[in-house]
Chains A and B, each alone.
Chain A
Amino acid sequence: MRPTTAWNALMRPPWRFLVSSWPWRGLLYLLSSALIGIVLLPLSVVTLLLLPLWGIVIGALERRRARLLGFPRLASGHVPLTRDQRHLWLAVRMNEGATWRETAALLLDLVLGFVALAVISAEAVCFVVFAFIIGSGMNGPSSIKLFSDVTFTVRPDTWWPVIPLAFLALVVFGYLNTLLATGQASLLRVLGGPRQRELTRNVERLVQSRATLVAAFETERRRIERDLHDGVQQELVTLAARLGMISLELDELTSRGTDTVLARGALDVAQGQAERAMATLRNTVRGIHPAVLTDHGLRAALEELADRAPVALALDVGGIERLPTSVETATYYLVTEAITNTAKHTDATTLSVRITVKDDVLTAMVSDNGRGGAEENAGTGLRGLRERADTLGGTFTIISPPGGPTSLRMTLPIFAERSAPYATAAR
C-alpha cells in the first residue's frame, strides 16, 4: 500500500523510502519554507502591526502546503461569515483564537524558515565539497586544505572513497529533510488547524442551518397550498358557479321556446372541464401539503390516508394530541413513504402504524407483512426520511431482514413550536 503521509513513508524500509518521491517532497517543502522565511522577515519587520493579518494568510497557506507531505487539507478554525456579515470581518477575526494561533504559526515559520535555509545551505556545501574533491582528485595529486591546519592530499587513485560518502550523505540528507519538513508541517498543523470546540461550533451551525432550511421548506409548501386554496381554487369554484348561472339562463330560454340544444351541449363540456380542473387541482394540492394535516393534525391526516391507501392500514395512534408541525409532517411522510414502498416494491398486503408519545419523544413504527430486504440506499425516499429525522434531532431505523417483515422506526423529540401557527400570519 502506498503511504498516505510523510510520517508513514518514514516508517517504511529505507530502500523503499529512498527511491520514493517522499525525500524530494521533503526537500521541496524545506525549500518553500526557506523561501517563506526569506520573504516573511522583511515583511514582518516593516509591517509589524499587520502581523495578525499576515498570520491569517500564512494559516491559509500552511493548511494547503501540508498537502505536499500527504496531510489532508485542514478545515479553518475561523467562523465562516456570510456575505451580509462581511463588514464585520476584521472585528470577528481579531477576536478569534484561530487568528492568534496563526500569528504564532507565522513566527514559527520565520524561525523554521531560516533553519531550513541553514540546513539546505549546509547540504549544498557538502555536495560542492564532494564535487571539488572529485574534480581535484581526477586532475592529479593536489593538496586540499580543510580547516586551518588540516590538509590532505587526493590523488587519482585515492579520491574514490568520496563516492560512497556522497551516497551516505544522500541517504542522511533524505531522511533529515523529510523529518524536518514533516515535523514542521505537523507543528504548523496544530497551530493552523481548528480546535475541537471550533469544529463542534461549525457543525452546530450546519445542523441549525439545515433545520432552518427544512422548516422553511415546510412553511413554503404550506404557503403554496394556502395560496392555491385562496387563489385559483376559489376562482375555479366561482367559475363553476358562473357556469351554473348560465345553465339557469338556458333553462329560462328553453321554457320560452328557444332552441338551446347546442348551447347546452357546449355548456356541458365546459362544466365537465371545470369539474376535472377542480378535481385535478385538489389532488395536486393534497400532494403538496395535505390541508387536513394543518387543520386537524396527524391523527386525522393518517385516518384520511388510511382511506386512500392501496394497502390495508392498521392504525394504532392512541390519543395523540396536536404536535409541532415539523414532527407531524415528518411522521406523516414516514407513513406515506412506507405506503409507497410497500405498494411499489413488496407483496405485502397490510401495514401497521403504531405511534406513541412518551416523555416528549414521539416513536413511530410502521411494519408490513412482506418479505423484507429493503435497502436504504435503494432510493431517495428512505434517505429523505433519515435526513428529516436527523434534522429534527431524532433517529430513523430500518429493520428489514431477508424473509421479512420490514419495519421503519422513527423517533422524534418534541420541542415547543417556536414560531406562531402559520395560519394566523397567513392572511
Chain B
Amino acid sequence: MRLLLAEDSALLREALVALLERLGHVISATARTAPELSSEYARLHDAGEAPDLVLTDVRMPPSGTDDGLRAALEIRAAHPTQPVMVLSQYIADTYARELLTLPNGAVGYLLKDRVNRVRDFAAALESVATGGTVIDPEVVQHLLSRTRPGPLDRLTPREREVLGLMADGGSNAEIADALTLTDAAVSKHIGNIFIKLDLSPVEDNRRVRAVLTYLQSADR
C-alpha cells in the first residue's frame, strides 16, 4: 500500500522507509514537520493519490510537543475515512483518548518500540489501513490498571483480566488458554463485559468497542 510517513528524526525516518519498503509498501511522500505533513497530504490528495495510510510521529516540530498528532487529527477531521496510525515515544492516555474517540475506526496508536516485532507491526498497519483499530498493549494495560473510579468498576476482576487479554488481541481460545478456563466460560465473561459496558449485540467490532467505550467514558 501507499504510505505517507512523517517523522522528524532523519535517522529513524530512513530506517522506517527501508523497513516499510522491504515489507512491500510504497512511500508516497515523507514529512519532517507537522506543517509538512499537512501540505504533503493535501498535495497527494489533490493529485487523487491519497495515501492508504498516514503514519506519523506525535512529537514533531515546530513546537516539539504533539504537533504530529494535531496534524493527524486535522487530516481526519477533513477526511473522516483516512486511515491514520500514530507512533509515540511514550504512553500518554491523553493521546490515546483523542485518537480512539474518532468515529469510523481506521486509527492506531502504537509505541515506537513496536517496530522491533516487525510482523506484528506490519499486521497493525494492515489492520488500520483496512478500517481496524489498533491500541498499543501497554496503553490498554494502563487503562485497565487504573486505580480511580470508572465504568470498569462494574467488572469483576476476572472480567477485567478477560478484557485485558481481549484488548491485547487475544481470541477466545487464546484467552481460555491463558486463564485456564473453558471456551464457554470465556464467552460468558465476554458476554457479561459487553452487557456491563452497554454494548448491543448487533454492534460490529465489539471487542475493540469494549475498550473504546471505556476510554470515552473514563475521566470526563
Contacts and interface: CB of A to CB of B under 8 A. Distances in A.
B65 A237 contact: no
A303 B94 contact: yes
B23 interface: yes
A245 B148 contact: no
Nearest to A231: B9
Contact of B112 (A237, A248, A309): A237
B55 to A, nearest CB: 12
Given A300-B92, A300-B94, A304-B92, A278 B147 contact: no
Interface stretch (B12-20, B77-85, B186-194): B12-20
A294 B15 contact: no
Given A234-B9, A286-B90, A312-B148, A247 B66 contact: no
Contacts of A285: 90
Contacts of B93: 303-304, 307
Interface of B is mostly: helix
Interface string A390-427: 00000000000000000000000000000001011011
Given A238-B11, A241-B15, A274-B116, A292 B94 contact: yes
Given A304-B92, A427-B61, A278 B219 contact: no
B121 interface: yes
Contacts of B9: 230, 234, 238
B71 to A, nearest CB: 14
Contacts of B148: 306-307, 312-315
A229 B92 CA distance: 15
Interface in B178-220: 219
Interface string B4-28: 0000010110111011001100000
B76 interface: no
A248 B64 CA distance: 33
A230 B9 CA distance: 7
A61 interface: no
Contacts of A242: 15
Interface string B105-149: 000000011011111010000000000000000000011011110
A421 B18 contact: no
B15 A307 contact: no
A325 to B, nearest CB: 13
Contacts of B143: 307
Contact of B146 (A226, A291, A307, A421): A307
B142 A296 contact: no
Nearest to B116: A240
A260 to B, nearest CB: 15
A312 B147 contact: yes
A273 B22 CA distance: 23
Contact of A306 (B117, B118, B146): B146
B89 interface: yes
Interface string A168-190: 00000000000000000000000
A313 B147 contact: yes
B139 to A, nearest CB: 10
A135 to B, nearest CB: 96
Contacts of A294: 65
Interface string A252-294: 0000000000000000000100110011001001100001101
A395 to B, nearest CB: 28
A235 B11 CA distance: 7
A244 B113 contact: no
Nearest to A313: B148
A226 B64 contact: yes
B151 interface: no
25 contacts: A234-B9, A234-B11, A237-B112, A238-B9, A240-B115, A244-B19, A244-B115, A244-B116, A244-B117, A248-B22, A248-B118, A278-B112, A279-B113, A285-B90, A286-B90, A291-B59, A295-B66, A300-B94, A303-B94, A304-B92, A304-B93, A304-B94, A307-B148, A313-B147, A423-B64
Interface in B41-79: 59, 61-66
Contacts of B66: 295-296
A68 interface: no
A243 interface: yes
Contacts of B147: 306-307, 309, 311-313
